[in-house]
Structure 1
Amino acid sequence: MEPDGPPESESSERSIFSSQQEEEDDEEEAKEPEETGTLNPVLQPALTGDVEGLQKIFEDPENPHHEQAMQLLLEEDIIGRNLLYAACMAGQSDVIRALAKYGVNLNEKTTRGYTLLHCAAAWGRLETLKALVELDVDIEALNFREERARDVAARYSQTECVEFLDWADARLTLKKYIAKVSAAVTDTEKGPGKLFKEDKNTILSACRTKNEWLETHLEASVSELLEQKQQLEDIVTPIFTKMATPRQVKSAKSVVSHGQKRSQDLTFY
């Protein structure tokens, strides 16, 4: 549930983990050695990119924190952020990739709807954004402001992140359109009407071609992606329009009248 009272300021949205870490670092320096064990043991490797250290905690049964590894990772602050968010703020892409293997939810949201992608976008962590997109996170997820990660990046003037997320959105739009068209011609219940075999083969062939293009053009620009979608639309739209257009069917009265006239004509022979 959302906490009572007005939402925190935008600056606190971005700074709470960093300020917490600074406080913990100060405390750690001031503590006696035996007291440092109270800190979350996953925090340090997550923030420093120590993937091997994380793997030991998660995979080594002899590690003293092994059984609590996931619980430690997912401990939340007052607005629902765990150490995955801290890793995103620190730009630790390899940590995110490593932790994804343990089945963590990369689409989880804070109490105000911020995802890991929103977080990386706000902090300008381009490589982390790329890692998250590669892991198929939801780039269309909205926070409590109805903002996507792209909007958050724009709000914080993270130009490179905006450009990358625009590219990711264009690529996703093409993929979704290909999938939608393919489903429409293979699922008779979802299709717009009766489809001739030749037209069906034309559409499926075009979809295969566009999928192959996506796989072989990983660095395609936004304009190229949009052009590919337009080309597919130019093939598909006329066929679907033809399918949706009612066919001219002669009325029963017309058929009977025509039959009678034909019969009369035959009597002269």
Structure 2
Amino acid sequence: MEPEGPLESESSEKSVFSQPEEDEKFQGSKETGLENPLLKPVLTGDIEGLRRIFEDPEDPHHDHVMELLLEEDVVGRNLLYAACMAGQSDVIRALAKYGVNLNETTTGGYTLLHCAAAWGRLETLKALVELDVDIEALNYNNERARDVAARYSQAECVEFLDWADARLALKKYITKVTLTITDPEKGPGKLLKEDKNHVLNACRAKTEWLETHTDASIDELFEQKQLLEDTVTPILVKMTMPRPVKSAKSVTSHGQKRSQDHTFHG
């Protein structure tokens, strides 16, 4: 089994991600001695071969294709991990269409993203992030994929994951602000309609900016987040301020004034 605590050395940890073609367990079932029919198309990027097995009812492996794909070795890896280690980004994209879970973990908490990061598979990292995997997932050592990439000196992967973090931070802030401003127990009655619309429009504009600036730099992402914070923070502060309460004296005085006015006009 894969260790549940910190490993003794970096080299021993790297063995967790041994090349699939050298891993006996990836060669097929120990019980039958037969090679997993999905192994070759996964490692060679044969998308058409995978599609045939998944979609053709006449294919002899069609009925148990998902079982074959998710068959695990002793540390919880399946052929999705083989695809990541082999850098088969198109395979990952193709398999995602069939509803596989791209956020699954091994017994040590490693995700597909950790795996791709350890091996420096930049294009596979990009594919996984595009497919909205959890980039904040932690392994047994409380490391994110970015941390694993840094330990193995995968500079390009570190840079990309830093960018993905910056993009995620802006998206999460937009979501947080939107939910806060539309919460019926926080927003209505405590903010002017103009303020609420101003915040929602600002969030909408940043969402559109993200969609149209897919190649924005880390600095640009941080700048956009700061601009949004500068816009909405003063308004959000209003929501935390207690409403002014009229004193009994002011209420009495107001009532007396109305009584006097009524007497005068009468």
Instruction: Give TM-score scaled by structure 1 length.
Output: 0.86
> Who is 1:243 aligned against?
239
| 2:170 equivalent to 1:178 | no
Displacement after TM superposition at 1:41 (Å): 1.1
- The match for 1:168 among 158, 164, 169 is 164
Q: 1:9 to 1:250 in 2, by over 3 A?
A: same
Q: Greater RCO between the two (CA within 8 Å, min separation 6)?
A: 2
Contact 1:192-1:243 within 8 A present in 2 as well: no
Contact 1:92-1:128 within 8 A present in 2 as well: yes
> Who is 2:142 aligned against?
146
Return the alpha-carbon distance in structure 1 between the equivalents of residues 65 and 127 of structure 2: 22
Q: CA RMSD in A?
A: 3.1
Greater shift, 42-51 or 132-141, is seen at 42-51
The gaps in structure 2 that reach 5 residues or longer are none
> Who is 1:41 aligned against?
37
Matches within 5 A, 1:65-144: 65-144=61-140
Contact 1:87-1:96 within 8 A present in 2 as well: yes
Q: 1:59 to 1:244 in 2, by over 3 A?
A: same
Return the alpha-carbon distance in structure 1 between the equivalents of residues 242 and 16 of structure 2: 61
Q: 1:147 to 1:23 in 2, by over 3 A?
A: closer
Q: 1:16 to 1:154 in 2, by over 3 A?
A: closer
> Who is 1:15 aligned against?
15
Displacement after TM superposition at 1:65 (Å): 1.5
- The match for 1:63 among 53, 56, 59 is 59
Displacement after TM superposition at 1:253 (Å): 3.5
Q: Aligned partner of 2:117: which letter?
A: A
Displacement after TM superposition at 1:2 (Å): 7.1
Return the alpha-carbon distance in structure 2 between the equivalents of residues 161 and 144 of structure 1: 20
Deviation digits for residues 208-251 of structure 1 (CA, Å, limit 9, x no counterpart): 11111111100000110111111111111101112322243332
Instruction: Give TM-score scaled by structure 2 length.
Output: 0.86
Deviation digits for residues 162-181 of structure 1 (CA, Å, limit 9, x no counterpart): 11011111111111111111
Displacement after TM superposition at 1:255 (Å): 4.1
Return the alpha-carbon distance in structure 2 between the equivalents of residues 4 and 234 of structure 1: 44
Return the alpha-carbon distance in structure 1 between the equivalents of residues 252 and 48 of structure 2: 85
